[in-house]
Amino acid sequence: MSMLEAALGPHAVFIVGSYVAAIGIIGALAFQVVADNRARKRELAKFDRRREIAGADASRAGAST
Amino acid sequence: MPSITELANPTRFMSLSGRLLPWIAATALALGAVGFYGAFFTAPADYQQGETIRIMYVHVPAAWLAMSFYVLMTLSALGALVWRHPLAEVAQKAAAPIGAAFALICLITGALWGRPMWGAYWVWDARLTSMLVLLLIYLAIMALWRTIEEPSQAGRAVSILTLVGFVNIPIIKFSVDWWNTLHQPASVFRMSGPTIHPSILWPLLICALAFSLLAVALHLVAMRTEIMRRRIRTLTILAADRADRMPASGIAHGSPAE
C-alpha cells in the first residue's frame, strides 16, 4: 500500500477502492447481461431444432400418404 | 439510414445491432484505456482535493449515465404508452438494471470521495438523497417487471411508474441550486460553460464517452436478450396450445361413442 500512497497520496485506498468498486459492478453487470443473452440463444436454438425435427417428420408423413 | 419506424421491426433491429455491437464495444474499451490513462497520468491533482479528484473520472460519468438511462426509460415509456412502439417496452426493460448499476457506482464512489473530503461517507444532502431515491426507483421498476408475468401488462404498469418517477430527475439536477447543499454545484453543464480546467475536463469527457458507449453496448445486448425471451415465450405458448389440442383429439378418436 505504501507504493500506492506514494503515487496517489494519503487517500490512495479511497481512490483505488472507487475504481475497484466501479470495475466490479460493471464487470458483474456485463457478465450477467452476456450470460443471460447466451442462455436465451441456447433456448431459442433448441426450439428451432425441435421445429426442424417436427417439420421433417411432417414432410416424411406427407410423403408416405 | 433507417428511420425509427423501420427500426421498430425487431428482426431488423437484431441484424443492425448485431453488426454494430462489436464496433461499439471495441471503441468503448479503447476510449476507456485512453480516458483512464489521462485520469491517472496526464490530469493534474486538484489544488484543493489533491489526488482524490481522480475518483471524479468514474463518479461523474456514472452519475450522468444513471440519469441519462432514466431519461431513456421515460422516452421509452412514452413510446410504449402513446405510440405502442414494439421496441419501446424492450428498451425500457433492458435499461433498468444498467441505470441501477450506474446509480450504485455513483453512490459508492461518492461515499468513498466524501470520507476524505467531507469527513463522512454519507450526509442527507439533497443531491445525495435524490440520487439514492433514483436507485430505489430503479429497483422498484426492476421488481415490478418481475412481479407481473404478462409482459404487456407489466409494460403498462412499469411505464406509468417510470413517468411518475421522472419527477426525480430535475430534482437531482437542480438540487444543488434549489437547496443549500454540501455537494458542489454543476461545473460542466452550465450556461456559462465549464469551470473545470481543460487538463482535467478532457480526460473526464473521454471517460464519460467510454462509459456511455459501454452502457449502450450492454443495453443493445440486453435488448437482444429481451427480444429472444419474448420469442421463446410466444413459442412456448404455441407449443403448449398444440400439445393441449393433440391429446383432446386423441381422446375424441378413442372415445366409446365412436
- Chain-chain contact of B113 with A18 (C-beta, under 8 angstroms): yes
Cα dihedral B6→B7→B8→B10 (10° resolution): 120
Per cent of chain B over pLDDT 70 is: 92
∠ Cα B23 B29 B35 (to 5°) = 130
- Chain-chain contact of A8 with B235 (C-beta, under 8 angstroms): no
Three-class secondary structure of residue B159 per DSSP: helix
User: Does the CB of B223 have a partner CB in chain A at under 8 Å?
Assistant: no
pLDDT reported for residue B7: 63
Give the pTM. Answer: 0.88
pLDDT reported for residue B194: 73
ipTM rounded to 2 decimals = 0.86
- Quick one: how far is CA B95 from the chain centroid? 4
Question: Which of A19, A23, A49 to probe the B interface (max B CBs under 10 A)?
Answer: A19
User: Does the CB of B126 have a partner CB in chain A at under 8 Å?
Assistant: no
Closest to B54 (Cα-Cα) out of B107, B103, B109, B102? B109
- Chain-chain contact of B52 with A15 (C-beta, under 8 angstroms): yes
- Segments in B119-197 forming alpha helices (H): 126-147, 151-165, 168-178
pLDDT reported for residue B1: 53
pLDDT digits (tens, 9 = 90+) for B29-43: 999 999 999 988 998
pLDDT reported for residue A47: 84
pLDDT reported for residue B258: 36
Question: Which of B46, B49, B52, B121 to probe the A interface (max A CBs under 10 A)?
Answer: B52
What value does the mean pLDDT take over residues B134-147? 96
